[in-house]
Amino acid sequence: MTMFKGIDYYDIESELSQEARLVRDTARAFVEREFLPSIREHYRAGTFPLELVPRMGALGMFGANLSGYGLPAIDNISYGLLMQELERGDSGLRSFASVQGALVMYPILTFGSEAQKQRWLPLLASGRAIGCFGLTEHDHGSDPAGMTTRAVKRGNGYLLSGVKMWITNGAVADLALVWAKLDGEIRGFLVERGTPGFTANEVVGKLSLRASVTAELVLDEAFVPEENLLPDAVGLKSALKCLNQARYGIVWGALGAAMACFDEVLVHSAERMVFGRPLAAFQLTQAKLADMLTEITKGQLLALQLGRLKELGKMRPEQVSLAKRNNVRMALETARTARGILGAVGISDEYQSMRHMCNLESVDTYEGTYEIHTLALGRDLTGIDAIS
């Protein structure tokens, strides 16, 4: 098998810095040599390759675009390419890095106390600690403002009660960032593994993101000391700011999944003989390939410009919504088309397109569903809120 080369029809390579190329190539080699050989087994078993976490930390893959506290501080385009390469492997791999960096390290860096930063950022960056982000509840996914998880002041801390659902890394996390209402206001609490009254139950039976740990977090009057409240995270807006960071990573990550599927069927259709000719020789196949290439290229240009805006500090949440909505749905359609081109073998896990397709169903739902991002754009365009 030849090494994956990526898709670059519009010479995006020429726009990339030396650093960006290095980051991408390092991540590509890591995924090819260290991740892909075991993904099939992990996907079947429904497990995440935890043994790779310290290695990913050593390669600077967690919180890579954050600065201070010894963090890598790579630029946002390099960071995007990192997410692209991780998701080329599997959405679960990118999810792990997204949650760790954008949803746990970013809020600690942005809203945390000095002591919280000193303690947790080096541990999370190196992979010696794993984090998770608990916002969603059974009855409050798209509408996190309606959360019922509560914090009550008690002595020199808080008692947290409530249930969070669908939490990536939840059952393997050393640290859970839990969002809860304190006196009616949404706040962020750092809940450590082993806290009495705090348990994580792994979600089983998933048909998507199988190589990712998903859990329910149960808080039954779990005591969290005063110093574990994020001092500057106040209101839903703080949680939504974290989501912007993670959604930005998904914009690029989805491209990686789409590229993996396209690459797979470009090779396959040239080799597969039907009616005595290669599948690639038929016009319908060529039309499918041309459409996939076009959509991936459009998605790359969206991601690149979004990255430039982020670098300039000009990226608006609605611009992230547009790109997350487009690129994930595009990747999902690409994966479905690729699965079809593969025919029957496309349902076997010897091929990757269907794994990506199943994963992308989750990616289309989490971090704001396709519909929620549609409505965010509608609200921005019209000034009329059709969400609630």
Interface with ligand TGC (CB under 6 A): 95, 98-99, 133, 135-136, 142, 144-145, 168, 236-237, 240-241, 243-244, 246, 317, 366-368, 372, 376, 387-388
- Give yes or no for residue 134 binding ligand FAD (CB under 6 A): yes
Q: Say which entry of ligand FAD, ligand TGC, none residue 202 contacts (CB below 5 to 8 A, set by partner kind).
A: none
CB of 136 to ligand FAD, least distance (A): 3
Decide if 160 contacts 178 (C-beta within 8 A). Answer: yes
Report which residue type is found at 386.
A
Query: With respect to ligand FAD, which residue has the nearer C-beta, 234 or 240?
Result: 240
- Give yes or no for residue 162 binding ligand FAD (CB under 6 A): no
Q: Say which entry of ligand TGC, ligand FAD, none residue 167 contacts (CB below 5 to 8 A, set by partner kind).
A: ligand FAD
CB of 174 to ligand TGC, least distance (A): 17
Judged by CB under 6 A, the stretch of 127-135, 191-199, 261-269, 271-279 that binds ligand FAD is 127-135
Decide if 145 contacts 236 (C-beta within 8 A). Answer: yes
Q: Which helix (H) or strand (E) holds 216?
A: strand 214-225
Residue from 99, 109, 251, 258 binding ligand FAD (CB under 6 A):
99
Q: Which of 97, 99, 88 is nearest to 28 (CA)?
A: 88
Decide if 224 contacts 197 (C-beta within 8 A). Answer: no
Positions of E strands within 268-357 = 273-274, 277-278
- Give yes or no for residue 362 binding ligand FAD (CB under 6 A): yes
Q: Say which entry of ligand FAD, ligand TGC, none residue 244 contacts (CB below 5 to 8 A, set by partner kind).
A: ligand TGC
User: In whole angstroms, what is the distance from residue 170 CA to residue 148 CA?
Assistant: 19
Catalytic residue among 216, 264, 295, 367: 367
Judged by DSSP in three states, 143 sits in: coil
Return phi, psi of residue 169, to 5°: 70, 0
Whether residue 216 lies in the annotated active site = no
Residues 193-232 that bind ligand FAD (CB under 6 A): 209, 214
Report which residue type is found at 216.
E
- Give yes or no for residue 166 binding ligand FAD (CB under 6 A): yes
CB of 214 to ligand FAD, least distance (A): 5
Judged by CB under 6 A, the stretch of 136-144, 192-200, 253-261, 347-355 that binds ligand FAD is 136-144
User: In whole angstroms, what is the distance from residue 300 CA to residue 277 CA?
Assistant: 33
Identify the bridge partners of residue 131 per DSSP, sorted by sequence position: 175
Q: Which of 324, 339, 305, 373 is nearest to 87 (CA)?
A: 324
Active site amino acids: 367
